[in-house]
Amino acid sequence: MAIAAVGQICSTASMAHNLQQCRLLVQKAVSAGAKALFLPEASDYIASSATETVSLVKSVTDSEFVLGLQDEARNARLPINVGVHEPAEGGKKVKNTLLWIDDKGEIVQRYQKLHLFDVEIKNGPILKESNSVEKGESILSPFDTPVGKVGLMICFDLRFPELSLSLRHRGAQLLTYPSAFTVPTGVAHWSTLLRSRAIETQSYVVAAAQCGPHNDAGTRKSYGHSMIVSPWGEILVELGGANNMDGKVTGRRDIPEIAIAEIDLPYVEKVRREMPLLRRTDVYPEIE
């Protein structure tokens, strides 16, 4: 068995600040004996507007945040999974991507978020990720890591079981959902959705979350509650976060945290063997 560490931070518009938070998590993960560290969506920065989101973006070769994490991975000999922004072609939008940095500090896998969070609530907030983010166009097949065969997804992808089922069909043993969930949607659905994806794919689910207010005005808040779920749907570990709709976060948001759990790959196979999910692909299409 191998230990996976799931991290929780509160990113701001400062890459230097966010890198320092993540460096602390690397140290904690190494001390815990983790074989991989999973960090949230948009760990490099969270801006206050679509315009700022685009203005702050840097390529991975120029990003102090990404370069710093590559150094951390190399020095600690620890693979790091981290969500960042990258420039989109044309310069008017960014890509919301998830990087796998190996224990040599090299970026060896990259997934671009497929499903964007576009919400218009009558007499309520309008949240349109597509105003500043370019959607991805392909599924990244699962790949081997020290904690098993990993399938990458990001935040709003969580609401689309077709994607997780496709990754399971392609051999995934562990699924990721690094996120910056809003407080209302987190209170309503976060735990339920994560457990559902774990149960229906019979896979470990690792969900690293942003937590708390991302600017002094408090105009953007994230739910927190990073967790690791077993293939049987059990929440193995869970960090704190907002507990109700007012968005008040328990604990101190300025201290980055990790939680760890053992990833037992024979247990994945045991669950799949003893609870076989024999799909009726003669009646409905197989998800590939």
128: domain CATH number is 3.60.110.10
pLDDT at 252 over 80: no
Domain encompassing residue 44: 2-274
Provide the pLDDT confidence category of residue 243 given band limits of 50, 70 and 90.
Answer: confident
Provide the pLDDT confidence category of residue 200 given band limits of 50, 70 and 90.
Answer: very high
Domain-located, residue 71 = yes
Domain-located, residue 279 = no
pLDDT at residue 216, rounded to an integer: 84
Domain-located, residue 131 = yes
Provide the pLDDT confidence category of residue 247 given band limits of 50, 70 and 90.
Answer: low
Provide the pLDDT confidence category of residue 218 given band limits of 50, 70 and 90.
Answer: confident
pLDDT at residue 255, rounded to an integer: 80
Rounded mean pLDDT of 26-38?
98
Domain-located, residue 286 = no
Domain-located, residue 91 = yes
**Could you read off the pLDDT of 109-131 as tens digits, one per residue?**
999 999 999 987 666 567 889 99
Domain-located, residue 49 = yes
Provide the pLDDT confidence category of residue 284 given band limits of 50, 70 and 90.
Answer: very high
pLDDT at 261 over 90: yes
Question: Considering the entire predicted model, what is its pTM?
Answer: 0.95
Provide the pLDDT confidence category of residue 149 given band limits of 50, 70 and 90.
Answer: very high
pLDDT at 21 over 90: yes
Domain-located, residue 283 = no
Q: Which of 14-23, 152-161, 213-222, 254-263 is predicted least confidently? A: 213-222
Domain count, the chain: 1
**Could you read off the pLDDT of 53-107 as tens digits, one per residue?**
999 999 999 999 999 999 999 999 999 999 999 999 999 999 999 999 999 999 9
Residues carrying an active site annotation: 41, 113, 155
Domain-located, residue 282 = no
DSSP the chain: -EEEEEEEB---S-HHHHHHHHHHHHHHHHHTT-SEEE--TT-S---SSHHHHHHH---TTT-HHHHHHHHHHHHHT--EEEEEEEEPTTSSSEEEEEEEE-TTS-EEEEEE--S--EEE-TTS-EEEGGGTEEPP--PPPPEEETTEEEEE--GGGGG-HHHHHHHHHTT-SEEE--B---HHHHHHHHHHHHHHHHHHHTSEEEE-BBEEESSTT--SEEEB--EEE-TTS-EEEE--BB-STT-PBSS-TTS-EEEEEEE-HHHHHHHHHHS-----TTTSPPP-
